[in-house]
Amino acid sequence: MSEGPPTGPSVVPSRWERMADRIERTAAMHGVDEAGCRLIERGFRNAMVSRLEVITDDHHPDYLHPGRTSAILLDDVGLNEPVALAAACLVDTQRRDLEATGPVLLEQVGQGVLDFRDQVPRPGSERVLEDLLASEAQVLLVALAERLDHLRHAHLWRDAAAARAAHDEGSAVYLAVAERTHPLLARRYAHCCRAFDKKYAT
């Protein structure tokens, strides 16, 4: 894996480059120091490598998922821990094939970020509720934010059955945990689940 997607001499920044700038500015506004901002940036850039290789449409819902996850954590949660935010960029609970791996990633972000990522519970397990409730506070916030972004875009998935199953789990598990964890995330989960149910009501 390369160190990150090439920026090139383009005059107009790409959507992912604009997202990278937004994340950096927002992190700095929340008190993240320069070293922390660089770590988050490396997490995001490495998360984009596989996406730029396989996603040709920059408006595809999976394209900017890493950036949107970190944006939720910064804007809605106020999380300003660089390790957590870098790890959040590297988690993808829906598209494991897009998760960055390899020795270059380790060199870029460090073992602490990868260890944090590995602690984030994965959906689809009979133990997911138990695992979420047993998670440390920042790990839980990352898990909730990351899954929320997927559920917000599930209505765009080609597989309607997978979208329905994801939202059923979101309503039964993630919404319930969010209600115990963070009021704003809980409201966003509730709105997301209501909107999905209304659109796909039978």
pLDDT at 10 over 60: no
Q: Is the pLDDT of residue 68 over 70?
A: yes
- Distance (Å, whole) CA 111 – CA 115: 6
pLDDT (tens digit per residue) in 118-150: 999 999 999 999 999 999 999 999 999 999 999
In 3D space, the residue among 177, 170, 175, 167 whose CA is nearest the CA of residue 197 turns out to be 167
| Residue 1 pLDDT grade (very low, low, confident, very high; cuts 50, 70, 90) | very low
The band of 201, judged by pLDDT with boundaries at 50, 70 and 90, is low
Residue 11 has pLDDT above 70, yes or no: no
Region 80-107: what's the mean pLDDT? Answer: 96
Neighbours of 110 (CB within 10 A): 16
43: tokens are 């997490």
| Helices and strands in the chain: count of H runs, count of E runs | 11, 0
Structural domains of the chain, ranges and CATH numbers in brackets: 15-199 (1.10.3210.10)
- Of the candidates 64, 47, 157, the one whose C-alpha atom is nearest the C-alpha of residue 108 is 47
Q: Measured between alpha carbons, how far is 167 from 99 in angstroms, rounded to an integer? A: 22
The single residue listed with the structure tokens 């602490």 is 112
| CB distance 27 to 37 below 8 Å | yes
Give Cβ neighbours of residue 155 (< 8 Å, ≥ 6 apart): 163, 195, 196, 199, 200
What are the pLDDT digits (tens) for 144-182?
999 999 999 999 999 999 999 999 999 999 999 999 999
